[in-house]
């Protein structure tokens, strides 16, 4: 009895539901027009379950375009869902066309006329091999989202609108919109595409609308107006990139929580936000783009100023946690750049980089790995970490006693070559903050009088060992009772009377059997070569001005620069040449 009642109830519901209850799956049987029954066959073959018997897919039906068939929409049409199989083609000319449900394209969906409207209420999915062809530039409305994993997506230059429902743009194939993309009132559009979404025109939004660049997504933006102007633009998700890539001027949006990766490319001036901004990943300039900082930038990744680009740091303080690479033009003005990453970072690139103020606050250090020297025009602050120069030189151009370098107690130093500007005056005191990869071994100079300003470049050897002229007994220093480091200073244009010098080293540099109180300082002149081949034409020793210790030696009255070695005086060993004595005995 219960079974009979349930059966009757179901049959009654079906009879009252009419066409919706018998929504058809209409599969094409031939090439033809949408409204031609011959395109879909009989109710038993093409539109199975077609309630009204006309054999044409309608609002509650699913239309399937089969392989090798081309179906042309020849009348205003609303359909429940659309599937275009591989090898099939759906053409929409000058008609209104609405899909209430999902649209799946594995073949080709092509718009061939800009008259009429196209609205996709459900999710549009372009599957592997599928083609979305809107080269005719039809305005299209999406209400359920867009996923592209297909072969090509040609969005056209007409406005593409996402409205009514919050939705996502997804997939792993690139999506290109050639014109404006509009986001409707009160909704959120999330870019989850893992390839590239390109918007050539402006990205606009209605009241209360939001654009979110999802994790690992990329938005290439070509609009002249900032994206989502006066609306919400979120680009902070991990790994996502926003690339302002127009061939003309653009305005860079200040997102709600900063950018992850920000790229300025193409050409023209990119106007930066007038509010301090955080870039969670990399800040990149490419093409021939140019930009001027309008407020402070915090870059938690790399800064890459590409060949042909220009970045003006203006008057602000910027921090960089990654590498700083300049192969274009970097204009420092009066800015401060702080290198503050957690791992060793590089100042690199093919262009000469001049900072105004440079602060190194990275315990893991910074390496000058570029093709040219690095210059600091005002102040180098060595808060933490070692700056390794390699074959390059870190150049400071402010007067050394301004000072040109600031180093707190326990701060960093230069492992390699440091150049300082020696100004005129009497007296003039300058310290070279140099050492090796781990240990600070500075030298302090006091010039009695400088009459012509110039530059001096200094370094200390980067590994333990005596000067080669010490080991071959040419320097006058005993190589078994010495400091196992030596310093090199080169003068470029400085005219002075004499200078006093204080050399600092560590106890581990001193030979175990040496007596530091007996140390002298030897200076080599006209020195050439490097490493084991380093040699000086002449050597002269100077008696320290105070008893040397195991960490310091000082002397006065030097009249020139060169190589400096420290140790006990090598005692000459005199030997008498063998003599032949002739004697004659008399008998």
Q: For residues 104-111, give the mean pLDDT.
A: 97
Q: For residues 246-275, give the mean pLDDT.
A: 97
**Are residues 357 and 338 in contact, defined by beta-carbon separation less than 8 angstroms?**
no
pLDDT at 453 over 70: yes
pLDDT at 11 over 70: no
Give every CB contact of residue 307 below 8 A, 6+ residues apart in sequence: 327, 328, 350, 351
| pLDDT score, position 52 | 66
| SS3 assignment, position 471 | helix
- Token representation of residue 307: 């060949």
- Whole-angstrom Cα distance, residue 266 to residue 246? 5
Q: How confident is the model at residue 572 (pLDDT cuts 50, 70, 90)?
A: low
Q: For residues 438-459, give the mean pLDDT.
A: 98
| pLDDT score, position 49 | 62
Beta strands in 342-442 (DSSP E): 345-348, 353-361, 366-368, 374-384, 386-399, 405-406, 413-422, 428-432, 434-435
DSSP code at position 136: T
C-alpha closest to that of 109 among 128, 137, 94, 88: 88
C-alpha distances in Å from residue 172, one per residue of 55, 152, 168, 473, 587: 37, 11, 13, 71, 119
**Are residues 162 and 181 in contact, defined by beta-carbon separation less than 8 angstroms?**
yes
pTM above 0.75, yes or no: yes
Q: Go through 29-57 and write b for each residue having 16 or more CB atoms within 10 A of its CB, e for each that does not.
A: bebbebbebebbbebeebbeebbeeebbb
- Identify the weakest region by mean pLDDT among 38-42, 111-115, 442-446, 495-499: 38-42
C-alpha closest to that of 282 among 307, 264, 263, 310: 263
Give every CB contact of residue 66 below 8 A, 6+ residues apart in sequence: 27, 28, 29, 85, 87, 88
Which residue has tokens 């030097």?
Answer: 558
- Identify the weakest region by mean pLDDT among 27-36, 51-60, 160-169, 440-449: 51-60
pLDDT at 21 over 60: no
pLDDT at 93 over 80: yes
Compute the mean pLDDT over every residue in the chain, rounded to the nearest whole number: 92
| pLDDT score, position 51 | 57
What percent of the chain has a predicted confidence (pLDDT) above 70? Answer: 91
- Whole-angstrom Cα distance, residue 218 to residue 145? 17
pLDDT at 44 over 60: no
pLDDT at 573 over 80: no
| pLDDT score, position 338 | 98
pLDDT at 57 over 70: yes
Give every CB contact of residue 6 below 8 A, 6+ residues apart in sequence: none
- Tens-place pLDDT, residues 360-409: 999 999 999 988 999 999 999 999 999 999 999 999 999 999 999 999 99
Q: Please indicate whether residue 552 or residue 2 has the higher confidence score (pLDDT).
A: 552
Q: For residues 125-152, give the mean pLDDT.
A: 97
Q: Please indicate whether residue 241 or residue 15 has the higher confidence score (pLDDT).
A: 241
| SS3 assignment, position 18 | helix
Q: How confident is the model at residue 489 (pLDDT cuts 50, 70, 90)?
A: very high
Strands 89-92 and 405-406 turn out to be unpaired
Q: How confident is the model at residue 206 (pLDDT cuts 50, 70, 90)?
A: very high
On the CB side of 305, CA atoms within 13 Å amount to 25
| pLDDT score, position 482 | 98
Q: How confident is the model at residue 575 (pLDDT cuts 50, 70, 90)?
A: very low
Q: How confident is the model at residue 9 (pLDDT cuts 50, 70, 90)?
A: very low
Q: For residues 215-219, give the mean pLDDT.
A: 98
pLDDT at 587 over 90: no
**Are residues 352 and 331 in contact, defined by beta-carbon separation less than 8 angstroms?**
no
- Tens-place pLDDT, residues 424-433: 999 999 999 9
- Whole-angstrom Cα distance, residue 211 to residue 437? 48
- Tens-place pLDDT, residues 318-355: 999 999 999 999 999 999 999 999 999 999 999 999 99
Q: Go through 269-293 and write b for each residue having 16 or more CB atoms within 10 A of its CB, e for each that does not.
A: ebebbeebbbbbbbbbbbbbbbbeb
């Amino acid at each position: 009895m219960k079974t009979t009642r349930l059966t009757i109830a179901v049959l009654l519901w079906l009879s009252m539901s009419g066409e919706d209850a018998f929504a058809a799956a209409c599969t094409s049987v031939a090439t033809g027009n949408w409204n031609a029954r011959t395109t879909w066959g009989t109710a038993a073959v093409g539109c199975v379950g077609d309630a009204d018997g006309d054999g044409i897919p309608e609002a509650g039906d699913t239309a399937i375009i089969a392989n090798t068939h081309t179906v042309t929409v020849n009348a205003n049409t609303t359909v429940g869902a659309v599937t275009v199989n591989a090898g099939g083609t759906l053409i929409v000319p000058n008609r209104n066309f609405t899909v209430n449900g999902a649209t799946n394209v594995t073949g080709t969906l092509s718009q061939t006329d800009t008259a009429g409207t196209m609205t996709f209420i459900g999710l549009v999915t372009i599957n592997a091999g599928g083609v979305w062809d809107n080269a005719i530039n039809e305005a299209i409305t999406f209400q359920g989202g867009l996923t592209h994993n297909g072969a090509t997506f040609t969005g056209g230059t007409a406005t593409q609108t996402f409205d009514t429902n919050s939705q996502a743009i997804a997939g792993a194939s690139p999506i290109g919109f050639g014109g404006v993309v509009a986001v409707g009132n009160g909704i959120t559009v999330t870019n989850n595409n893992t390839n590239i979404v390109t918007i050539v025109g402006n990205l606009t939004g209605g009241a209360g609308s939001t654009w979110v660049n999802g994790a690992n997504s990329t938005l290439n933006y070509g609009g002249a107006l900032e994206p989502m102007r006066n609306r919400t633009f979120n680009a902070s998700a991990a790994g996502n990139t926003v690339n302002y890539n127009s061939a003309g001027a653009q305005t860079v949006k200040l997102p709600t929580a900063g950018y992850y990766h920000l790229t300025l490319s193409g050409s023209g001036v990119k106007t930066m936000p007038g509010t301090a901004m955080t870039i969670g990943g990399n800040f990149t300039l490419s093409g021939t783009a140019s930009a001027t900082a309008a407020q402070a930038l915090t870059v938690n990744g790399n800064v890459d100023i590409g060949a042909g680009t220009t970045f003006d740091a203006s008057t602000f303080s910027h921090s960089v946690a990654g590498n700083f690479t300049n192969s274009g033009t970097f204009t420092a003005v009066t800015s401060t750049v702080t290198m503050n990453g957690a791992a060793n970072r590089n100042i690199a690139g093919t262009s000469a980089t001049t900072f105004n103020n440079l602060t190194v606050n990275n315990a893991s250090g910074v390496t000058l790995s570029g093709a040219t020297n690095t210059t600091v025009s005002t102040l180098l602050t060595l808060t933490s970490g070692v700056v390794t120069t390699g074959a390059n030189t870190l150049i400071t151009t402010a007067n050394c006693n301004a000072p040109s370098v600031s180093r707190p107690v326990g701060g960093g130093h230069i492992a390699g070559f440091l150049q300082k500007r020696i100004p005129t005056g009497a007296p003039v005191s300058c310290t070279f903050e140099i050492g090796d990869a781990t240990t600070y071994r500075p030298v302090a100079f006091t010039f009695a009088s400088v009459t012509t300003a110039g530059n001096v470049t200094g370094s200390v050897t980067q590994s333990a060992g005596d000067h080669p002229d010490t080991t071959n007994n040419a320097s006058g220093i005993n190589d078994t009772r010495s400091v196992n480091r030596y310093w090199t200073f080169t003068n470029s244009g400085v005219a002075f009377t004499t200078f006093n010098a204080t050399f600092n080293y560590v106890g581990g540099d001193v030979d175990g059997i040496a007596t530091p109180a007996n140390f002298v300082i030897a200076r080599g002149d006209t020195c050439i070569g490097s490493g084991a081949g380093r040699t000086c034409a002449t050597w002269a020793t100077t008696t320290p001005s105070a008893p040397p210790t195991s960490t310091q030696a000082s002397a006065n009255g030097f009249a020139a620069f060169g190589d400096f070695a420290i140790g006990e005086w090598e005692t000459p060993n005199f030997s008498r040449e063998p003599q032949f004595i002739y004697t004659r005995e008399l008998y």
